[in-house]
Amino acid sequence: MIKKLLALVLIINCQLSIINCYAQDNMMDLMDKNSENPKNEPVTATFKTTRVINAQSTETVAKKSLDFRITHRFGNIGAASGGGFHAFYGMDKIANVRIALEYGILNNWMVGVGRSKTMGHIDAFTKWRFMTQTTNNKVPFSMAVYVNAAISPIKRELFYADVPTHKNNNLHRLSYTAQVIIARKFGNIGSLELLPTYVHRNYVKTYVNPNNGASETNGLFALGAALRIKLTKRSSILAEYFYTFSKYRGDFFNWKYMNNPRRPYYQPFSIGYEIETGGHVFHMNFSNAVGIIENDFLVNSPDTWNLGGFKWGFNISRVFNF
């Protein structure tokens, strides 16, 4: 009996050894295959929402989902820019508010509408991500195109303010933006994107820069950059900067002119903190830009960080799935 038991244990042990060796061989083969051919899967969550702060991201709302967004900017914080203690560091003033709805037609194509306090702008837009970064780097980055059209329905006397005489033309109230968004996610570290942009306004007031004699033009080119650095699984640091190419706005390398308090426009720079809480993504940020859509903040940023002309603001995003 004992001999039979010992023989049975020996047989089982041999079988287990064979199975173990076979499993190890299969595992090694699988690892070799994976190292040679990593999975070709799309990279997700390059950014958490469709916008970084003001800048668009390559993210789009998922198919048949609705994103309800509220973007708020208080007044300037610094006393030299109208803030200070008497205005509770800008909290007593509302510089701008935008309420928007964004809907996903496909997983990589969305449309939306919004309304801003600044110039009363009502905007409609679409964004299409036509290239998505993959985990095996066969596609090294994501790309999207974004276009919008906005109309300013404010009163005629406000729209043509400081213009002595001008024939009313409702087409003057229209402006447009076209943008390409190029982004890459760097593992768990964060993400970076570039945003070459063109903004066209049907009407601009005739101003001349006394430093170089240049006048404002209907069309403006700008280049933006945005950065997201992950802190935890649900929180990140955000930053973005846009430079507008315009002789009217001065030479970027002329630092004396850059720091002149009388300079009419400054380049928009924003920093923020992002946290995801369940179905919400909440942004707290500081920006010298008053506008929220490109048609505003790329063409009209009269405040500078040097004089405390930055504003506290927040973005809230809530997604509903249907």
Per-residue pLDDT reduced to its tens digit, 100-109: 999 999 999 9
Give residue 188's identity as a one-letter amino acid code: N
The CATH number of domain 45-321, selected from 3.40.190.10, 3.40.50.12160, 2.10.109.10, 2.40.160.40: 2.40.160.40
| Residue-averaged pLDDT of the chain | 83
Secondary structure letter of residue 42 according to DSSP: B
Reported as a pLDDT band with limits 50, 70 and 90, residue 19 is very low
What number of helices (H) and strands (E) belong to the chain? 4, 12
Stretch 277-288: mean pLDDT: 85
DSSP letters spanning 202-257: S-----B-TTT--B--SEEEEEEEEEEEEEETTEEEEEEEEEEE-GGG--TT-HHH
Residue 156 has pLDDT above 70, yes or no: yes
**Ramachandran assignment for 250, one of left (phi > 0), alpha (psi -120 to 50 degrees), beta (any other):** left
- List the chain domain ranges: 1-30, 45-321
Task: Give 114's contacts (C-beta < 8 A, 6+ positions apart).
Answer: 69, 98, 99, 100, 101, 122, 123, 125, 293
Stretch 297-314: mean pLDDT: 88
Cβ(287)–Cβ(246) below 8 Å: no
Alpha-carbon distance of 298 to 62, in angstroms, equals 28
Letter string b/e over residues 260-293, b meaning 16 or more CB atoms within 10 A of that residue's CB: eeeeebbbbbbbbebebeeeebbbebbbbbbbbb
CA distances from 284 to 9, 107, 306 (A): 67, 27, 21
Task: Give 83's contacts (C-beta < 8 A, 6+ positions apart).
Answer: 75, 76, 77, 89, 90, 93, 308
Task: Read off the tokens for 33.
Answer: 């295959």
Cβ(42)–Cβ(132) below 8 Å: yes
Least confident of 57-66, 68-77, 260-269: 260-269
pTM (2 d.p.): 0.83
pLDDT at residue 175 in the model: 97
pLDDT at residue 162 in the model: 75
**3 φ, ψ to 5°?**
-65, -40
Cβ(142)–Cβ(43) below 8 Å: yes
* Percent with pLDDT over 70 in the chain: 82
